[in-house]
Amino acid sequence: MNNAQMVKCFNEWMRRYIEEPGRFEAEFQSVNQFLADEADGREPTYGESCTALMQRIAEECPVG
């Protein structure tokens, strides 16, 4: 993903968050899992989830 695609994806993510914040409720719940993973010495999986989401957005909103 190049810089222009990344910018577009993050802007799209923000637009979706503003329009439908309820869709992101699970993100807030993931904070506790992230903290628990770190406390137990495990690498949190949040980054993997974010990467998958950004890849889906990139597929839905390709840069010209």
Q: What is the pLDDT of residue 64?
A: 59
Token output for 33? 């899992």
Mean pLDDT for each 10-residue chunk of the chain (64 residues)?
86 91 81 89 86 87 70
Residues 6+ apart with CB under 8 A from 33: 44, 45, 46
Q: What is the pLDDT of residue 4?
A: 87
For the chain, the structural domain boundaries read 3-60
Q: What is the pLDDT of residue 18?
A: 92
